Amino acid sequence: MHDTVTFWLSHAWLGTHVEPGVALDVADGRIAGVRTGVDAPPPGATVLRGLTLPGLANTHSHAFHRALRSTVQVGSGTFWTWRELMYQVSARLTPESYYDLARAVYAEMALAGITSVGEFHYLHHAPGGAPYSNPNAMGEALIAAADAAGIRITLLDTAYLAAGFGQGAGQYQQPDQHQLRFSDTTAEAWAERASLLKGTGHTLIGAAVHSVRAVPAGQLATVAAWAEERQAPLHVHLSEQVAENEACQAAHGCSPTRLLADHGVLGARTTGVHNTHLSAADIALLGASATGTCMCPTTERDLADGIGPAVALQRAGSPLSLGSDSHAVIDLFEEARAMELNERLRTQTRGHWTAAALLRAATVDGHAALGRPDAGTLEPGALADFTTVALDSVRTAGPAPRLAAEAAVFAASAADVRHTVVAGRHIVRDGQHALVEDVPAALASAISALHG
Ligand SMILES: [Zn+2]
Protein backbone atom coordinates (compact mmCIF):
# COMPACT_ATOMS: atom_id res chain seq x y z
CA MET A 1 0.00 0.00 0.00
CA HIS A 2 1.46 3.33 -1.05
CA ASP A 3 0.35 6.77 -0.02
CA THR A 4 -1.56 8.75 -2.58
CA VAL A 5 -1.41 12.53 -2.50
CA THR A 6 -3.79 14.78 -4.38
CA PHE A 7 -3.14 18.06 -6.16
CA TRP A 8 -6.12 20.21 -7.12
CA LEU A 9 -5.56 22.31 -10.23
CA SER A 10 -7.76 25.32 -10.87
CA HIS A 11 -6.91 24.87 -14.57
CA ALA A 12 -5.03 22.08 -16.31
CA TRP A 13 -3.59 21.74 -19.79
CA LEU A 14 -4.73 18.32 -21.03
CA GLY A 15 -2.87 18.40 -24.34
CA THR A 16 -5.73 19.78 -26.42
CA HIS A 17 -7.63 22.14 -24.14
CA VAL A 18 -7.74 23.88 -20.76
CA GLU A 19 -9.82 21.94 -18.25
CA PRO A 20 -11.08 23.76 -15.14
CA GLY A 21 -11.19 21.94 -11.80
CA VAL A 22 -8.93 18.89 -12.05
CA ALA A 23 -7.75 16.61 -9.24
CA LEU A 24 -4.48 14.77 -9.88
CA ASP A 25 -3.81 11.78 -7.68
CA VAL A 26 -0.13 10.96 -7.36
CA ALA A 27 1.43 7.75 -6.04
CA ASP A 28 5.00 6.49 -6.28
CA GLY A 29 6.05 9.55 -8.27
CA ARG A 30 3.51 8.95 -11.03
CA ILE A 31 0.07 10.27 -11.85
CA ALA A 32 -2.35 7.65 -10.56
CA GLY A 33 -5.59 9.37 -11.52
CA VAL A 34 -6.94 12.44 -13.30
CA ARG A 35 -10.40 13.55 -12.17
CA THR A 36 -12.17 16.32 -14.04
CA GLY A 37 -15.18 18.36 -12.96
CA VAL A 38 -13.80 18.80 -9.44
CA ASP A 39 -15.03 22.31 -8.71
CA ALA A 40 -13.43 22.77 -5.30
CA PRO A 41 -10.24 21.41 -3.72
CA PRO A 42 -10.86 18.03 -2.04
CA PRO A 43 -9.94 17.96 1.66
CA GLY A 44 -6.18 17.64 2.12
CA ALA A 45 -5.36 18.41 -1.51
CA THR A 46 -2.48 20.73 -2.42
CA VAL A 47 -3.99 23.65 -4.31
CA LEU A 48 -2.29 24.85 -7.52
CA ARG A 49 -3.95 28.02 -8.81
CA GLY A 50 -3.16 29.01 -12.38
CA LEU A 51 -2.61 26.91 -15.48
CA THR A 52 -0.89 23.64 -14.67
CA LEU A 53 1.14 22.24 -17.54
CA PRO A 54 3.15 19.06 -17.79
CA GLY A 55 6.71 19.80 -16.61
CA LEU A 56 8.82 21.51 -19.24
CA ALA A 57 11.75 19.73 -20.89
CA ASN A 58 14.88 21.79 -21.50
CA THR A 59 16.35 19.54 -24.14
CA HIS A 60 19.68 21.30 -24.65
CA SER A 61 21.81 22.85 -21.91
CA HIS A 62 25.44 23.66 -21.26
CA ALA A 63 25.18 24.63 -17.59
CA PHE A 64 28.47 26.52 -17.45
CA HIS A 65 27.45 28.93 -20.22
CA ARG A 66 25.18 30.57 -17.63
CA ALA A 67 28.35 32.20 -16.26
CA LEU A 68 28.67 34.10 -19.56
CA ARG A 69 25.30 35.85 -19.33
CA SER A 70 25.77 39.59 -20.00
CA THR A 71 29.57 39.20 -20.24
CA VAL A 72 29.09 38.18 -23.87
CA GLN A 73 26.64 40.98 -24.64
CA VAL A 74 29.43 43.57 -24.77
CA GLY A 75 30.95 44.44 -28.13
CA SER A 76 30.43 42.75 -31.47
CA GLY A 77 31.60 39.57 -33.19
CA THR A 78 30.29 36.15 -34.24
CA PHE A 79 29.71 32.69 -32.83
CA TRP A 80 33.46 32.16 -33.10
CA THR A 81 34.44 35.21 -31.02
CA TRP A 82 31.77 34.26 -28.47
CA ARG A 83 33.40 30.83 -28.28
CA GLU A 84 36.70 32.34 -27.13
CA LEU A 85 34.99 33.92 -24.11
CA MET A 86 33.25 30.62 -23.39
CA TYR A 87 36.60 28.81 -23.38
CA GLN A 88 38.01 31.28 -20.86
CA VAL A 89 35.28 30.44 -18.35
CA SER A 90 35.50 26.72 -19.03
CA ALA A 91 39.21 26.81 -18.18
CA ARG A 92 38.45 27.83 -14.58
CA LEU A 93 35.89 25.19 -13.63
CA THR A 94 36.61 22.38 -11.16
CA PRO A 95 34.22 19.60 -10.11
CA GLU A 96 33.45 21.61 -6.95
CA SER A 97 32.84 24.96 -8.63
CA TYR A 98 30.90 23.27 -11.43
CA TYR A 99 28.63 21.63 -8.86
CA ASP A 100 27.95 25.01 -7.23
CA LEU A 101 27.22 26.68 -10.56
CA ALA A 102 25.09 23.87 -11.99
CA ARG A 103 23.05 23.50 -8.80
CA ALA A 104 22.15 27.19 -9.02
CA VAL A 105 21.45 26.99 -12.77
CA TYR A 106 19.24 23.93 -12.37
CA ALA A 107 17.43 25.69 -9.53
CA GLU A 108 16.83 28.60 -11.92
CA MET A 109 15.40 26.04 -14.34
CA ALA A 110 13.06 24.61 -11.67
CA LEU A 111 11.85 28.16 -10.98
CA ALA A 112 11.13 28.41 -14.73
CA GLY A 113 8.96 25.27 -14.71
CA ILE A 114 11.61 22.94 -16.12
CA THR A 115 11.44 19.44 -14.66
CA SER A 116 14.00 17.72 -16.86
CA VAL A 117 17.21 18.95 -18.46
CA GLY A 118 19.33 17.48 -21.23
CA GLU A 119 22.87 18.41 -20.27
CA PHE A 120 25.18 18.27 -23.29
CA HIS A 121 28.33 17.71 -21.29
CA TYR A 122 31.82 17.89 -22.72
CA LEU A 123 33.92 19.46 -19.94
CA HIS A 124 35.31 16.12 -18.80
CA HIS A 125 38.93 16.49 -17.69
CA ALA A 126 41.26 18.72 -15.71
CA PRO A 127 42.92 21.70 -17.44
CA GLY A 128 45.55 20.31 -19.81
CA GLY A 129 43.47 17.19 -20.40
CA ALA A 130 44.57 14.92 -17.54
CA PRO A 131 41.67 12.83 -16.25
CA TYR A 132 40.53 13.45 -12.69
CA SER A 133 41.12 10.55 -10.30
CA ASN A 134 37.43 9.86 -10.80
CA PRO A 135 37.30 10.23 -14.60
CA ASN A 136 33.61 11.24 -14.38
CA ALA A 137 34.07 13.77 -11.59
CA MET A 138 32.61 16.56 -13.75
CA GLY A 139 29.63 14.56 -15.05
CA GLU A 140 28.84 13.28 -11.59
CA ALA A 141 28.99 16.86 -10.27
CA LEU A 142 26.25 17.73 -12.78
CA ILE A 143 24.14 14.74 -11.75
CA ALA A 144 24.50 15.70 -8.08
CA ALA A 145 23.64 19.32 -8.93
CA ALA A 146 20.40 18.31 -10.65
CA ASP A 147 19.53 16.15 -7.67
CA ALA A 148 20.19 19.02 -5.27
CA ALA A 149 17.99 21.30 -7.38
CA GLY A 150 15.23 18.67 -7.51
CA ILE A 151 15.02 18.20 -11.29
CA ARG A 152 15.69 15.24 -13.58
CA ILE A 153 18.75 15.16 -15.80
CA THR A 154 19.66 13.28 -18.92
CA LEU A 155 23.45 13.55 -18.94
CA LEU A 156 24.38 13.53 -22.61
CA ASP A 157 28.01 12.61 -22.23
CA THR A 158 29.69 14.16 -25.22
CA ALA A 159 32.49 12.90 -27.43
CA TYR A 160 34.69 15.87 -28.37
CA LEU A 161 37.93 14.65 -29.88
CA ALA A 162 39.18 17.13 -32.46
CA ALA A 163 39.45 20.88 -33.09
CA GLY A 164 38.10 20.63 -36.63
CA PHE A 165 38.66 19.22 -40.07
CA GLY A 166 42.31 19.04 -41.17
CA GLN A 167 43.97 19.56 -44.52
CA GLY A 168 44.18 16.04 -45.97
CA ALA A 169 41.42 13.49 -46.55
CA GLY A 170 40.26 12.02 -43.24
CA GLN A 171 42.53 14.39 -41.30
CA TYR A 172 41.42 16.29 -38.21
CA GLN A 173 43.11 18.98 -36.15
CA GLN A 174 44.29 18.10 -32.67
CA PRO A 175 42.34 19.72 -29.82
CA ASP A 176 43.65 23.17 -28.92
CA GLN A 177 44.74 24.06 -25.37
CA HIS A 178 41.15 24.74 -24.22
CA GLN A 179 39.72 21.69 -25.91
CA LEU A 180 42.15 19.32 -24.16
CA ARG A 181 39.69 19.31 -21.25
CA PHE A 182 36.97 18.05 -23.55
CA SER A 183 38.86 15.25 -25.28
CA ASP A 184 39.09 11.56 -24.44
CA THR A 185 41.46 11.28 -27.48
CA THR A 186 39.49 8.45 -29.14
CA ALA A 187 35.85 7.36 -29.31
CA GLU A 188 36.82 4.04 -27.72
CA ALA A 189 38.29 5.87 -24.72
CA TRP A 190 35.19 8.08 -24.60
CA ALA A 191 32.97 4.96 -24.57
CA GLU A 192 35.02 3.34 -21.82
CA ARG A 193 34.66 6.41 -19.59
CA ALA A 194 31.00 7.02 -20.43
CA SER A 195 30.21 3.37 -19.63
CA LEU A 196 31.16 4.03 -16.00
CA LEU A 197 28.33 6.55 -15.56
CA LYS A 198 25.24 5.21 -13.82
CA GLY A 199 21.62 6.24 -14.26
CA THR A 200 19.18 6.32 -11.35
CA GLY A 201 15.51 7.22 -11.07
CA HIS A 202 16.10 10.93 -11.72
CA THR A 203 19.15 10.45 -13.96
CA LEU A 204 19.44 9.00 -17.42
CA ILE A 205 22.73 8.62 -19.25
CA GLY A 206 22.79 9.41 -22.95
CA ALA A 207 25.46 10.17 -25.52
CA ALA A 208 26.36 13.07 -27.74
CA VAL A 209 28.58 13.77 -30.70
CA HIS A 210 29.72 17.35 -30.19
CA SER A 211 29.60 18.02 -33.94
CA VAL A 212 31.07 16.67 -37.16
CA ARG A 213 33.93 19.10 -36.53
CA ALA A 214 34.82 17.50 -33.22
CA VAL A 215 34.40 13.76 -33.88
CA PRO A 216 36.31 12.27 -36.82
CA ALA A 217 33.98 10.57 -39.29
CA GLY A 218 35.66 7.20 -38.77
CA GLN A 219 34.78 7.31 -35.05
CA LEU A 220 31.13 8.37 -35.31
CA ALA A 221 29.91 4.77 -35.49
CA THR A 222 31.54 3.96 -32.14
CA VAL A 223 29.46 6.62 -30.40
CA ALA A 224 26.30 5.59 -32.27
CA ALA A 225 26.85 1.93 -31.32
CA TRP A 226 27.28 2.84 -27.65
CA ALA A 227 23.90 4.61 -27.67
CA GLU A 228 22.27 1.84 -29.68
CA GLU A 229 23.45 -0.82 -27.26
CA ARG A 230 21.83 1.08 -24.38
CA GLN A 231 18.83 2.37 -26.35
CA ALA A 232 19.97 5.75 -25.05
CA PRO A 233 19.35 9.21 -26.52
CA LEU A 234 22.06 10.47 -28.88
CA HIS A 235 22.38 14.21 -29.53
CA VAL A 236 24.56 16.17 -31.94
CA HIS A 237 25.09 19.86 -32.76
CA LEU A 238 24.23 19.99 -36.44
CA SER A 239 24.84 22.70 -39.04
CA GLU A 240 24.61 25.57 -36.57
CA GLN A 241 27.12 27.47 -38.69
CA VAL A 242 27.59 27.86 -42.45
CA ALA A 243 31.35 27.48 -41.84
CA GLU A 244 30.78 23.95 -40.52
CA ASN A 245 28.92 23.00 -43.70
CA GLU A 246 31.67 24.43 -45.91
CA ALA A 247 34.46 22.69 -44.00
CA CYS A 248 32.58 19.38 -44.05
CA GLN A 249 31.96 19.72 -47.78
CA ALA A 250 35.66 20.40 -48.36
CA ALA A 251 36.80 17.49 -46.18
CA HIS A 252 34.20 14.85 -47.08
CA GLY A 253 32.38 16.12 -50.16
CA CYS A 254 29.03 16.07 -48.37
CA SER A 255 26.94 17.93 -45.81
CA PRO A 256 27.20 17.23 -42.06
CA THR A 257 23.74 15.61 -42.15
CA ARG A 258 24.79 13.25 -44.97
CA LEU A 259 28.00 12.40 -43.08
CA LEU A 260 26.00 11.53 -39.94
CA ALA A 261 23.54 9.46 -41.99
CA ASP A 262 26.38 7.52 -43.63
CA HIS A 263 27.88 6.64 -40.24
CA GLY A 264 24.69 5.47 -38.55
CA VAL A 265 24.13 8.47 -36.32
CA LEU A 266 20.60 9.41 -37.44
CA GLY A 267 17.46 7.72 -36.11
CA ALA A 268 14.49 8.06 -33.81
CA ARG A 269 16.63 8.19 -30.63
CA THR A 270 18.82 10.91 -32.18
CA THR A 271 18.28 14.65 -31.87
CA GLY A 272 20.04 17.20 -34.04
CA VAL A 273 20.55 20.42 -32.12
CA HIS A 274 19.99 23.66 -34.09
CA ASN A 275 19.70 22.07 -37.58
CA THR A 276 19.99 25.60 -38.91
CA HIS A 277 21.68 25.59 -42.31
CA LEU A 278 20.18 22.59 -44.12
CA SER A 279 19.50 21.68 -47.72
CA ALA A 280 16.28 20.06 -48.89
CA ALA A 281 18.17 16.76 -49.04
CA ASP A 282 19.33 17.19 -45.42
CA ILE A 283 15.77 17.89 -44.30
CA ALA A 284 14.56 14.77 -46.10
CA LEU A 285 17.26 12.63 -44.44
CA LEU A 286 16.42 13.92 -40.98
CA GLY A 287 12.68 13.54 -41.50
CA ALA A 288 12.79 10.07 -43.04
CA SER A 289 14.95 8.77 -40.19
CA ALA A 290 12.65 10.44 -37.58
CA THR A 291 15.69 12.23 -36.16
CA GLY A 292 14.51 14.96 -33.81
CA THR A 293 15.26 18.67 -34.02
CA CYS A 294 16.05 20.70 -30.92
CA MET A 295 15.58 24.38 -31.63
CA CYS A 296 17.31 26.86 -29.30
CA PRO A 297 15.88 30.14 -30.61
CA THR A 298 17.10 32.49 -27.87
CA THR A 299 20.66 31.23 -28.28
CA GLU A 300 20.47 31.09 -32.07
CA ARG A 301 19.40 34.72 -32.22
CA ASP A 302 21.95 35.71 -29.56
CA LEU A 303 24.78 34.11 -31.53
CA ALA A 304 23.52 35.41 -34.87
CA ASP A 305 23.32 31.81 -36.14
CA GLY A 306 20.30 32.15 -38.41
CA ILE A 307 16.78 30.68 -38.38
CA GLY A 308 16.49 26.93 -38.90
CA PRO A 309 13.82 25.36 -41.12
CA ALA A 310 11.75 23.99 -38.22
CA VAL A 311 8.47 23.99 -40.17
CA ALA A 312 9.94 21.96 -43.01
CA LEU A 313 11.75 19.61 -40.63
CA GLN A 314 8.59 18.86 -38.67
CA ARG A 315 6.62 18.35 -41.86
CA ALA A 316 9.28 15.90 -43.07
CA GLY A 317 8.95 13.83 -39.88
CA SER A 318 11.39 15.37 -37.39
CA PRO A 319 9.81 15.94 -33.95
CA LEU A 320 10.63 19.34 -32.43
CA SER A 321 11.97 20.10 -28.99
CA LEU A 322 13.36 23.23 -27.32
CA GLY A 323 16.52 24.09 -25.39
CA SER A 324 17.96 27.11 -23.64
CA ASP A 325 21.48 26.02 -24.71
CA SER A 326 23.77 28.95 -23.77
CA HIS A 327 21.27 30.28 -21.20
CA ALA A 328 21.20 33.80 -22.62
CA VAL A 329 17.84 33.47 -20.87
CA ILE A 330 16.26 30.42 -19.20
CA ASP A 331 12.63 30.64 -20.23
CA LEU A 332 10.96 27.86 -22.21
CA PHE A 333 7.93 30.08 -22.94
CA GLU A 334 10.27 32.49 -24.67
CA GLU A 335 11.92 29.63 -26.61
CA ALA A 336 8.52 28.34 -27.73
CA ARG A 337 7.15 31.66 -28.91
CA ALA A 338 10.49 32.64 -30.47
CA MET A 339 10.31 29.60 -32.74
CA GLU A 340 6.91 30.76 -34.00
CA LEU A 341 7.76 34.46 -34.10
CA ASN A 342 11.04 33.91 -35.98
CA GLU A 343 9.06 32.03 -38.60
CA ARG A 344 6.56 34.90 -38.84
CA LEU A 345 9.36 37.39 -39.49
CA ARG A 346 10.96 35.12 -42.06
CA THR A 347 7.76 34.34 -43.98
CA GLN A 348 5.60 37.40 -43.30
CA THR A 349 2.75 35.06 -42.37
CA ARG A 350 1.34 34.15 -38.93
CA GLY A 351 0.29 30.98 -37.16
CA HIS A 352 2.83 28.27 -38.08
CA TRP A 353 2.27 26.52 -34.76
CA THR A 354 -0.64 26.68 -32.35
CA ALA A 355 -0.04 27.18 -28.64
CA ALA A 356 -0.84 23.46 -28.28
CA ALA A 357 1.85 22.51 -30.82
CA LEU A 358 4.43 24.75 -29.13
CA LEU A 359 3.57 23.26 -25.74
CA ARG A 360 3.97 19.81 -27.22
CA ALA A 361 7.55 20.69 -28.24
CA ALA A 362 8.21 22.08 -24.75
CA THR A 363 6.78 19.01 -23.02
CA VAL A 364 6.05 15.59 -24.48
CA ASP A 365 8.38 15.71 -27.49
CA GLY A 366 11.14 17.33 -25.43
CA HIS A 367 10.95 14.62 -22.78
CA ALA A 368 10.95 11.93 -25.48
CA ALA A 369 14.16 13.44 -26.88
CA LEU A 370 15.66 13.02 -23.41
CA GLY A 371 14.70 9.36 -23.22
CA ARG A 372 11.55 9.83 -21.16
CA PRO A 373 8.54 8.87 -23.24
CA ASP A 374 6.58 8.54 -19.98
CA ALA A 375 6.80 12.27 -19.17
CA GLY A 376 5.17 15.38 -20.55
CA THR A 377 1.47 14.63 -20.20
CA LEU A 378 -1.07 14.90 -17.39
CA GLU A 379 -2.34 11.35 -17.82
CA PRO A 380 -2.52 8.31 -15.56
CA GLY A 381 0.81 6.46 -15.59
CA ALA A 382 2.89 9.49 -16.57
CA LEU A 383 5.64 10.81 -14.32
CA ALA A 384 4.13 13.23 -11.81
CA ASP A 385 6.08 16.20 -13.17
CA PHE A 386 4.14 19.43 -13.66
CA THR A 387 4.34 23.18 -13.32
CA THR A 388 1.81 25.93 -12.71
CA VAL A 389 1.81 29.31 -14.44
CA ALA A 390 0.04 32.23 -12.79
CA LEU A 391 -2.95 33.55 -14.68
CA ASP A 392 -3.20 36.65 -12.49
CA SER A 393 0.16 38.31 -13.18
CA VAL A 394 0.49 41.58 -15.10
CA ARG A 395 1.49 39.55 -18.15
CA THR A 396 -1.19 36.87 -18.02
CA ALA A 397 -4.23 38.56 -16.47
CA GLY A 398 -7.18 39.29 -18.74
CA PRO A 399 -7.72 36.47 -21.24
CA ALA A 400 -10.62 34.06 -20.66
CA PRO A 401 -9.47 30.83 -18.95
CA ARG A 402 -10.04 28.84 -22.15
CA LEU A 403 -7.21 30.95 -23.68
CA ALA A 404 -4.82 30.22 -20.81
CA ALA A 405 -2.47 28.17 -23.01
CA GLU A 406 -2.19 31.07 -25.47
CA ALA A 407 -1.51 33.40 -22.52
CA ALA A 408 1.21 31.07 -21.23
CA VAL A 409 2.95 30.59 -24.57
CA PHE A 410 2.60 34.06 -26.05
CA ALA A 411 2.73 36.32 -22.99
CA ALA A 412 4.02 34.56 -19.86
CA SER A 413 7.62 34.52 -18.75
CA ALA A 414 9.55 32.22 -16.46
CA ALA A 415 8.77 34.74 -13.69
CA ASP A 416 5.11 33.67 -13.86
CA VAL A 417 5.87 30.11 -12.76
CA ARG A 418 4.35 29.54 -9.32
CA HIS A 419 4.82 25.83 -8.72
CA THR A 420 7.01 23.02 -9.99
CA VAL A 421 6.45 19.42 -8.98
CA VAL A 422 8.87 16.59 -9.85
CA ALA A 423 7.88 12.98 -9.11
CA GLY A 424 5.13 14.34 -6.88
CA ARG A 425 7.62 16.41 -4.86
CA HIS A 426 6.82 20.10 -4.55
CA ILE A 427 10.15 21.66 -5.65
CA VAL A 428 8.91 25.19 -6.27
CA ARG A 429 6.08 26.45 -4.08
CA ASP A 430 4.54 29.89 -4.58
CA GLY A 431 7.58 30.94 -6.62
CA GLN A 432 10.08 29.86 -3.97
CA HIS A 433 12.56 27.04 -4.48
CA ALA A 434 12.13 24.52 -1.66
CA LEU A 435 15.67 23.08 -1.80
CA VAL A 436 17.88 26.03 -2.77
CA GLU A 437 17.00 28.81 -0.40
CA ASP A 438 18.21 31.85 -2.33
CA VAL A 439 18.70 31.01 -6.01
CA PRO A 440 19.87 34.49 -7.11
CA ALA A 441 22.49 34.50 -4.34
CA ALA A 442 23.62 31.00 -5.31
CA LEU A 443 24.00 32.12 -8.93
CA ALA A 444 25.84 35.29 -7.96
CA SER A 445 28.35 33.52 -5.74
CA ALA A 446 28.99 30.63 -8.16
CA ILE A 447 29.50 33.00 -11.09
CA SER A 448 31.60 35.62 -9.30
CA ALA A 449 33.92 32.82 -8.15
CA LEU A 450 34.62 32.01 -11.81
CA HIS A 451 35.26 35.54 -12.97
CA GLY A 452 37.75 36.07 -10.14
ZN1 LIG B 1 24.89 23.59 -27.60
Q: Classify strands 18-27 and 4-13 as parallel, antiparallel or unpaired.
A: antiparallel
**AA letter at 309:** P
Least confident among 29-43, 170-184, 185-199, 338-352 = 170-184
- Which contiguous run of DSSP H or E holds residue 227? helix 217-230
Q: What is the pLDDT of residue 404?
A: 96
Q: How many CB atoms lie within 10 A of CB 324?
A: 30
Tell me the per-residue pLDDT of 112-165, one tens digit each, with 9 for 90 and over: 999 999 999 999 999 999 999 999 999 999 999 999 999 999 999 999 999 999
Q: What is the pLDDT of residue 296?
A: 98
Q: What is the pLDDT of residue 77?
A: 79
In the predicted model, what is the mean pLDDT of residues 422-443? 98
Query: How far is the centre of ligand 1, averaged over its atoms, from the C-alpha of 78 (Å)?
Result: 15
Q: How many CB atoms lie within 10 A of CB 356?
A: 14
Q: What is the pLDDT of residue 73?
A: 78
Query: How far is the centre of ligand 1, averaged over its atoms, from the C-alpha of 44 (Å)?
Result: 43
Rounded CA gap, 77 and 240, in Å?
Answer: 16
Task: Look up 62 and say whether it is catalytic.
Answer: no
In the predicted model, what is the mean pLDDT of residues 3-7? 95
In the predicted model, what is the mean pLDDT of residues 331-349? 97
Query: How far is the centre of ligand 1, averaged over its atoms, from the C-alpha of 434 (Å)?
Result: 29
Taking 90 as the threshold, does the pLDDT of residue 63 lie above it? Answer: yes
Q: What is the pLDDT of residue 78?
A: 81
Taking 90 as the threshold, does the pLDDT of residue 371 lie above it? Answer: yes
Q: Provide long-range contacts, Cβ within 8 A and 24+ apart, for 162-166.
A: 162/213, 162/214, 162/215, 162/216, 163/213, 163/214, 164/213, 164/214, 164/247, 165/213, 165/247, 165/248, 165/250, 165/251, 166/251
The CA radius of gyration of the chain, in Å to the nearest whole number, is 21
Taking 90 as the threshold, does the pLDDT of residue 42 lie above it? Answer: yes
Task: Look up 325 and say whether it is catalytic.
Answer: yes
Q: Is 359 within 8 Å of 57 (Cβ atoms)?
A: no
The CA angle 452-71-323, to the nearest 5 degrees, is 115
Cβ neighbours of residue 203 closer than 8 Å, sequence gap 6 or more: 143, 146, 147, 152, 153, 154, 155
Q: What is the pLDDT of residue 2?
A: 65
In the predicted model, what is the mean pLDDT of residues 221-240? 98
Tell me the per-residue pLDDT of 10-40, one tens digit each, with 9 for 90 and over: 999 999 999 999 999 999 999 999 999 999 9
With cut-offs at 50, 70 and 90, classify the pLDDT of residue 1.
very low
Of residues 82 and 270, the one with the higher pLDDT is 270
Of residues 69 and 79, the one with the higher pLDDT is 69
In the predicted model, what is the mean pLDDT of residues 392-410? 96
Beta bridge partners, 248, equal: none
Query: How far is the centre of ligand 1, averaged over its atoms, from the C-alpha of 107 (Å)?
Result: 20
Query: How far is the centre of ligand 1, averaged over its atoms, from the C-alpha of 62 (Å)?
Result: 6
Query: How far is the centre of ligand 1, averaged over its atoms, from the C-alpha of 325 (Å)?
Result: 5
Of residues 423 and 88, the one with the higher pLDDT is 423
Rounded CA gap, 414 and 416, in Å?
Answer: 5
In the predicted model, what is the mean pLDDT of residues 415-428? 98
Taking 90 as the threshold, does the pLDDT of residue 169 lie above it? Answer: no
Which position among 100, 147, 302, 325 bears the catalytic label? 325
With cut-offs at 50, 70 and 90, classify the pLDDT of residue 86.
confident
Which position among 60, 237, 274, 367 bears the catalytic label? 274
The overall pTM is greater than 0.85: yes
Mean pLDDT of the chain: 96
Name the percent of the chain lying above pLDDT 70: 99
Taking 90 as the threshold, does the pLDDT of residue 236 lie above it? Answer: yes
Taking 80 as the threshold, does the pLDDT of residue 452 lie above it? Answer: no
